[in-house]
Structure 1
């Protein structure tokens, strides 16, 4: 059997030249495999296929749920009979050796990756599945789509902008070092988080996501908010909206607080998701 040697975060791995089944332990890897026309037989979908955004779920079809992204189900991965496993270099590094006992495994960035690092991960995956030419073609199409949507954006990108996820007692702000923060910056949006705020805030899950309480959010005082939610009417969102600080945020006062889908904006971090985000922004009006 012909193999290809792939360099990745854990070293080098020999991978079959023809991949007919792959397991993805992060959503962005599913996105990449679908774009490259690779059969996805297993996905760490946190136990619910509804976590896959519609364009991806429809193309993947039937697959084995490999459990949680943070704690994949090894028996389920075996059941998916992968020829290749794609795992996150931060979340899954401690289980790498065990994964390689099931199938050749590569570690690439997703969770703690910015937009450009996700593009780099896509290129590595393209090489791993012996579809470098296809990957280049998809990347060019992606770049063209993003540029087209960017040209259609009517929002004032000079307004300081902050993407957030709502929590029980505050928000998690996504800095320019995160996927969505860096992607918004690439679309021309001005970041609201200053270096001082970043240095004085707590990191979330060891990445470049910052925990802010309501008061800190009002002190950052972004002129535009993208609020990434699974349910706009959740108790957490209501608590934020009922807080004293909320009404004093410039983005709220000026009606520049946009509720968007958390799955697409924060969890997927892939090419298709990026295109969906850019399209959604291009359709927003002040």
Structure 2
């Protein structure tokens, strides 16, 4: 009788142990059974709880993941790691390059067996279904994101990976940083303009661009506004082409030259346009208010951390307050 009792007890304990293991042995089992419904630009996707292997198909999404302690296993980086901030690049060292942002490699994405894909709703709307067959996919604005789009996307990503409180804290810190800089600006509002390539025509970022809107949040007046006719649709950002004469009509107080690898410069690092007599009539030029910045940092890094980096550079180089905060 005793032996039978011991055998029954042992059997019950074994069944209990197996049940416990199946419940806690890995996040994947529990995650698959209790997914999180995430609303995004192209619909609603059920995402496994706390996904571990995440790939991103736009650069700005990298920062959003790092902000909540997750390193992407794959990034569409155009095969040019230098597009990514140096410090960030070091943090995600070992990631798999997934090809170009415009045409990422589906084979490379599938090979990583991701739990979650974060796509761009502008670039990847046409291949969204194909991506969704590989893994749960959410699509958000980054390529054509304005300031608020970027903040909203960061929160959506945080929800998708179960880290909303961490992102909310990051957003609060960013807003405090922005307000601190705003208080340092002169009482009289200054106009500011972002210039990209100037080889054939002057390329100006419009008022819907992420960094343009950040500058207005800080307290600047952006040099082109709603009255500026361009090809923007649905509020999306476009580049405006200008001549030097048209730029002189705008005559901003501050000019930001976003310099990239395609800009023509002479042996002294100067652009040909800087020798134009009309260029030298600009108020920003005459008052030494032309600042050269890294286009990758001011244009491609559309994220909370990218915004913070812009704030730091304005603090240091434009307002010249010394240490960044």
TM-score (norm 2): 0.80
SS of structure 1 residue aligned to 2:172? helix
Separation (CA, whole Å) in 1 of partners of 2:287 and 2:231: 28
Which residue of structure 2 lines up, in the alignment, with residue 161 of structure 1?
A: 192
- Aligned mates of 1:127, 1:229 — CA distance in 2: 35
2:219 is paired with a residue of what secondary structure? coil
- Residue 238 (1) aligns with residue 268 (2): no
Secondary structure of 1:125's counterpart equals helix
Q: Secondary structure at the match of 2:317?
A: coil
Distance in 2 between the 1:203 and 1:220 partners?
19
Superposed CA deviations along residues 231-262 of structure 1, whole A, max 9, x for unmatched, are 59733962222334321222112111100111
Aligned match for 2:52, one of 16, 20, 30:
20
* Correspondence for 1:216 among 246, 264, 271: 246
Provide the residue aligned with 2:299 in structure 1.
266
Query: Is contact 1:63–1:80 with CA below 8 Å preserved after alignment?
Result: no
Q: State whether residues 206 and 237 of structure 2, in contact with CA within 8 Å, keep that contact through their aligned partners in structure 1.
A: no
1:181 aligns with 2:212: yes
For the aligned residue pairs, the C-alpha RMSD in angstroms reads 2.2
Task: Check the 8 A contact 2:47/2:136 in 1, yes or no.
Answer: yes
Cα distance in 1 for partners of 2:105, 2:45 equals 22
Q: Residues 243 and 95 of structure 1: is their aligned pair in 2 closer, same or farther, counting only changes over 3 Å?
A: farther
Structure 2, unmatched stretches of 5+, are 1-31, 320-325
Distance 1:92 1:214 in 2: 36
State the structure with more CA Rg: 2
The 5 A counterparts of 1:137-148 are 137-148=169-180
- Counterparts of residues 122-141 of structure 1 (less than 5 Å): 122-141=154-173
User: Which residue of 220, 226, 237 maps to 1:207?
Assistant: 237
Where do residues 36-47 of structure 1 align in structure 2 (5 Å cutoff)? 36-47=68-79
Give the direction of change, closer, same or farther, for the CA distance of 1:107–1:53 in structure 2 (3 Å limit).
Answer: same
Which residue is equivalent to 2:38? 6
- State TM-score, norm by structure 1: 0.91
Q: Tell me if the contact between 1:202 and 1:211 (Cα under 8 Å) persists in the aligned partners.
A: no
The count of residues paired between Structure 1 and Structure 2 equals 282
In structure 2, distance between residues paired with 1:285 and 1:195: 26
Structure number with higher relative contact order (C-alpha < 8 Å, ≥ 6 residues apart): 1
| Preserved contact between residue 169 and residue 214 of structure 1 (Cα < 8 Å) | no
When residues 227 and 34 of structure 1 are mapped into structure 2, their CA distance, relative to the original with a 3 A threshold, is same
Residue pair 1:36, 1:126 contacting (<8 A) in 2 also: yes
Distance 1:171 1:72, change over 3 A: farther
**Structure 1: runs of 5+ lacking an equivalent:** none
